């Protein structure tokens, strides 16, 4: 049987320092039918020059302003012809053999919509920071705890999955991938591989370490949309209050990190009212710190920064 055609989209913006490593990790995969699409958001850091160096190995690419990563992915996948799809962010990489292992798993199980595994956490220089473990594909648990168990780097999905759960929500800056995973969970199964498929890079400009205010509002939006769906299972309906509470508490921490103290307090209190069992000593402490004058909080943060920097 012939190998399936695999299409990988690389969304990128301002990551010229890492983009070449990302592309080379994809080009070196041991699969026969590979299509690579690159969508750059109009970077002015030399990213387009990096792409041009490899454009003979890229099926289609563009460098123009877009509305964020979800928009870039929608644009990229519209140019893909593969049976199996995936994306690699321009500061992450694929590990050797990742695409073959993941695609073969989907071929062996034609009912599965998605396959994923672990990822190696690395710093800006590529040095290991440990392992990012994937967890079982349990939609009820993911909703109840507000945690995505699918590690994105190296994950693949069928074209059918994109037709079911796509396109990606452009208004969602951070959690469009979680929303995609939850939609797939309502429609079918996923496979978890017991191996690392990619690297996940942590650095100062990565999405995972920035944009706390947008994360707060996006988190609330995600669960409002989810629980407005008419097709939720009874098991998901049963955890709605707990899930919404956890979402409010998570949003509160993001609001606080963005110095939106009043909004943080409101989110914490909404979370406690929604599910009183979440009113733990830790949550009580989170609420209490929103009552501390901002001048005191700023002073404490300065002390903390001095302690860290020595």
User: pLDDT of 183-225, one tens digit each?
Assistant: 999 999 999 999 999 999 987 765 554 567 888 888 888 999 9
Question: What is the topology classification, in CATH, of domain 6-199?
Answer: Spore Coat Polysaccharide Biosynthesis Protein SpsA; Chain A (3.90.550)
Task: Inform me whether the pLDDT recorded for 268 exceeds 70.
Answer: yes
User: pLDDT of 56-66, one tens digit each?
Assistant: 999 999 999 99
> What percent of the chain has pLDDT above 70?
92
SS3 114: strand
Q: Burial, 213: exposed, middle or buried (Cβ in 10 Å; 0-12, 13-18, 19+)?
A: middle
**Given this model, what pLDDT does residue 125 score?**
87
Q: Which stretches within 63-175 are classed as H helix?
A: 69-77, 98-108, 139-145, 159-165
Per domain, the residue ranges of the chain are 6-199, 211-309
| 14 close to 205: Cβ distance less than 8 angstroms | yes
SS (H, E, C) 56-87: HHCCEEEECCCCCHHHHHHHHHCCCCCCEEEE
Residues 6+ apart with CB under 8 A from 298: none
211-309: CATH number: 1.25.40
CA torsion 288-289-295-296 (nearest 10°) is 90
Give the mean model confidence (pLDDT) for residues 234-262.
Answer: 94
**Given this model, what pLDDT does residue 213 score?**
84
Lowest mean per-residue pLDDT among 22-26, 48-52, 68-72, 219-223: 219-223
Distance, in Å, from the CA atom of 252 to the CA atom of 258, rounded to the nearest integer, reads: 10
User: pLDDT of 112-154, one tens digit each?
Assistant: 999 999 999 999 888 999 999 999 999 999 999 999 999 999 9
* Beta bridge partners of residue 114, listed in sequence order: 157, 190
Instruction: Dump strand ranges (E) for the chain.
Output: 6-12, 34-40, 60-63, 84-87, 93-94, 112-122, 128-132, 156-158, 189-201
DSSP state of 147: -
- Sign for the pseudo-dihedral over CA of 91, 215, 146, 252: positive
Residues 6+ apart with CB under 8 A from 179: 168, 169, 172, 222, 225, 226
């Amino acid at each position: 049987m012939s190998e399936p055609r695999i299409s990988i989209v690389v969304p990128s913006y301002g990551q010229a320092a890492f983009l070449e490593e990302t592309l080379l990790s994809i080009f070196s995969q041991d699969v026969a039918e590979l299509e690579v699409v690159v969508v750059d958001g109009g970077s002015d850091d030399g990213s387009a020059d990096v792409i041009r160096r490899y454009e003979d190995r890229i099926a289609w690419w563009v460098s123009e302003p877009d509305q964020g990563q979800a928009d870039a992915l929608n644009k990229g996948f519209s140019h893909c012809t593969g049976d199996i799809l995936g994306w690699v962010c321009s500061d992450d990489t694929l590990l050797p053999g990742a695409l073959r292992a993941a695609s073969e798993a989907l071929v062996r199980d034609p009912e599965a919509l998605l396959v994923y595994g672990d990822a190696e956490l690395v710093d800006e220089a590529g040095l290991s920071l440990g392992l990012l473990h994937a967890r079982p594909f349990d939609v009820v648990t993911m909703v109840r705890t507000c945690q995505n168990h699918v590690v994105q780097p190296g994950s693949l999905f069928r074209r059918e999955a994109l037709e079911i759960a796509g396109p990606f929500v452009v208004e969602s800056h951070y959690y469009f991938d979680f929303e995609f995973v939850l939609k797939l969970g309502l429609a079918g199964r996923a496979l978890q591989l017991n191996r690392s498929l990619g690297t996940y890079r942590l650095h100062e400009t990565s999405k995972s370490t920035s944009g706390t205010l947008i994360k707060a509002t996006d988190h609330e939006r995600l669960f409002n949309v989810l629980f407005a769906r008419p097709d939720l299972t009874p098991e998901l309906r049963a955890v709605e209050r707990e899930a919404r509470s956890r979402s409010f508490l998570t949003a509160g921490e993001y609001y606080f990190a963005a110095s939106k103290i009043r909004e943080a307090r409101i989110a914490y209190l909404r979370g406690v009212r929604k599910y009183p069992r979440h009113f733990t000593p830790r949550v009580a402490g989170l609420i209490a710190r929103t009552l501390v004058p901002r001048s005191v909080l700023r002073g404490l943060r300065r002390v903390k920064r001095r302690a860290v920097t020595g």
